[in-house]
Chain A
Amino acid sequence: MRDELIKNGAPNLTRCIQCGTCTASCTVFELDRTYNPRRLIQMFLGGERSVEVPKAWLCSTCGVCTERCPKEVWPMNIMLSARGLLVRSRPPKDMPKDRLRSLISISRSGFAYGRKRGSRARRSTLNLPEFGLDKAQLDGVRKILVPSFGKKLARQLGGR
């Protein structure tokens, strides 16, 4: 797993000396002591895929760890890379439901959040131009999204 991470967005993984600054600065660790970025990184460095890997979804992406890391390991990027691997090799099961819904929404409308009821009318009242993608543009988006994710996810995305 280590080499996969290094190749997919976490090239600085091996710079880590396990100093603990990332966990000490972690927004989530402060409230949930079981989410420990340093520990996760140590597991990743060990190369073995651990059952704890899905914890990477808890990262708030606040970036304080990356800002403060003395070895420029970019811990946040490591978490994001781990998520990417999860999504590719072990699809939807480990992806939080709301994220999955957002992805489906993107393939439906081009945007992670769909329109609220009455938003079209509201926009018109506010003199805002119409918002949204036409069919051709949407096709362009789908062409990119669907092949990039694992088969199961792709079916869910393309199947709409």
Chain B
Amino acid sequence: MKGLYSLFLGCIVPNLFPEVERAVRDTLSKLDIEYSDARGTACCLPPALFGFNNDAWLKMNLRNFGLARGDFLTVCDECFASLQDARASIEGEGGKALQNVFPFVKALKDIEGTIKDRIKGPLNLRCAVQHSCHLLRPSSVRKVDDPEAPKLVKSLLEAIGCEYVVQEDEVGCCGGSIYAGSEIPKKLAIRRIRGAQDARADLIITTCPHCLKHLGAHSRAMPVLHLAQLYALALGSNPSDVGMRGALR
């Protein structure tokens, strides 16, 4: 459905990373992607965090869909997965009548061809990507990109003059959705950060605030940014507004 997107901000970005929200809004408006806020929506209750509780999950998301004024555009990939699954679990015509759900990267992909001409200049950064598990898998449902050799984020980075750094474990999980209290999330985060360092990347890029929060918490020297922040920068936003600390630019 063309036309206005209904921007679904989720929980993490507006509360913990307002600079990323600024970056998202700047990117969308500078690329002439029209949207309006999905006011009144609440947490999408991702089963990834809370397990299947169909009752609450379906109802919360039906409530969310009821407040959508266009197809949802999510800033968080876990919201994307949760909303997409909720929509799919409502069978038949009822489900099809609900608005569609798209991740942030899809809005960019749709106008990919025009990006090069709109940016102020190539950023020339070496980016290691933490691919978002919930964006890619299960690919038969998400239908966003090739789960074994993802190309979307790579081409979006190249469109703003950045280099996609090849890492040994390309599509591995950051561990951000494992509950606190286990040692494993930390080990996985450190592995990703070390991998990016070994590959001589300038920074780690992600499209999901869960990865952003988790990797950022464990990283000292290696900056971790949301793709929107790079895009906003490339399109001319004020670096400090979109969360760029001194180390970069």
Are both chains from one complex? yes
Whole-angstrom distance between the Cβ of A13 and the nearest chain B Cβ: 13
Q: How far is the CB of A138 from chain B (nearest CB, A)?
A: 8
Across the interface, name the chain B residue whose C-beta is closest to A103. Answer: B50
Interface of A toward B, CB cutoff 8 Å = 8-9, 27-28, 31-32, 56-64, 66-67, 74, 76-77, 80-88, 96-99, 102-103, 106, 110-116, 119, 122-123, 126-129, 131, 133, 137, 140-141, 144-145, 147-149
Q: Is the CB of A80 within 8 A of B15?
A: no
Tell me the nearest residue of chain B to A82, going by C-beta: B51
- Given contacts A61-B133, A61-B177, 10 further A-B pairs with CB under 8 A are A9-B47, A27-B175, A32-B184, A60-B173, A80-B51, A99-B50, A110-B42, A133-B42, A148-B55, A149-B53
Residues of the B chain whose Cβ atoms lie less than 8 Å from the Cβ of A119: 15-16, 18
CA distance A131 to B27 in the complex (A): 20
Whether A81 touches B51, Cβ cut-off 8 Å, given contacts A60-B177, A114-B15, is: yes
In this complex, what residue of B is CB-closest to A62?
A: B173
- Distance (whole angstroms) from the CB of B170 to the closest CB of chain A: 12
* Given A62-B173, A63-B138, A129-B37, also A98-B181 (CB < 8 A): yes
Query: Are A131 and B14 touching (Cβ within 8 A)?
Result: yes
For A102, the chain B residues whose CB sits under 8 A away are 49-50
Complex interface bits, B10-27 against A, C-beta within 8 A gives 1, otherwise 0? 111011101101100100
A/B pair count, beta carbons within 8 Å: 160
- Chain A residue with Cβ nearest B176: A60
Interfacial residues of chain B within 137-177, with CB under 8 A of chain A in the complex:
137-139, 147, 171-173, 175, 177
Known contacts A9-B52, A128-B22; decide if A111 and B138 are in contact (CB<8 Å). no
Shortest distance from the beta carbon of B119 to any chain A beta carbon, whole Å: 21
Interface string of B173-215 (1 = CB under 8 A from A): 1010111111111011000000000000000000000000000
Question: Which residues from B are CB-within-8-Å of A116?
Answer: 15-16
List residues of chain A with CB within 8 A of the CB of B18.
Answer: 119, 122-123, 126, 128
Once the chains bind, are A84 and B52 in contact (CB under 8 Å)? yes
Q: List 29 A-B contacts (CB under 8 A).
A: A28-B178, A31-B184, A60-B184, A61-B134, A61-B177, A64-B137, A66-B137, A67-B137, A67-B139, A80-B51, A84-B51, A85-B51, A88-B53, A99-B179, A110-B43, A111-B43, A112-B43, A113-B16, A119-B15, A122-B18, A123-B21, A126-B241, A128-B18, A128-B22, A131-B9, A141-B42, A144-B59, A144-B63, A145-B60
User: B128 contacts the other chain (Cβ, under 8 Å)?
Assistant: no
Centre residue among A27, A56, A97 by max chain B CB count within 10 A: A27
Distance (whole angstroms) from the CB of B167 to the closest CB of chain A: 15
Q: Shortest beta-carbon distance, B27 to chain A, in Å? A: 14
